Chains A and B, each alone.
Chain A
Amino acid sequence: MKNTIRVERAIKNITQAELADLIGVSRQTINTIESNRYVPSTVLSLKIARVFNKPLEEIFILEDTD
């Protein structure tokens, strides 16, 4: 699964730290999600989507290998 969080952050102009504060996780967690080393739970994904005001599918995209 890949995601567009880095792009969305750039559009909204917030840092990893600010996004982390908004959804109540550590900066490390945001960083591992962005670099595809951690797949967030549904709850966390929904929280991220809510911050960016976009449907889930626009931020998290399934890959062929999934």
Chain B
Amino acid sequence: MADELSRVFAALADPTRRDMVARLATGDATVGQLAAPYAVSMQAVSKHLKVLEAAGLISRSRDAQRRPVHLEAEVLAQATEWLERYRREAEARFQRLDAVLAEMNQESMNEEKPS
């Protein structure tokens, strides 16, 4: 879908959800395990997980007893990669600008020197 990237960015904009993603990066966890570190209700945790699931960042197995939450690492990697590539391209442009600015500074210093 065209706006899947935006859903991933929106899902990751929340610090609690980022925290959960970081936790899941170390391995699958149950909703109870994910909720443990936070002083929030299970409903609130459940809501966060729904946002992450809608963004494709996590999936939940059909195992009715535990339903462990699984991080879809590829979806996460792809979204951050697009942004990082865009950032690197901007940085490359700015490196060229640095060089031009350094020359501008050099020129103005030469002009200020008494001849």
- The answer to whether A and B assemble together is no
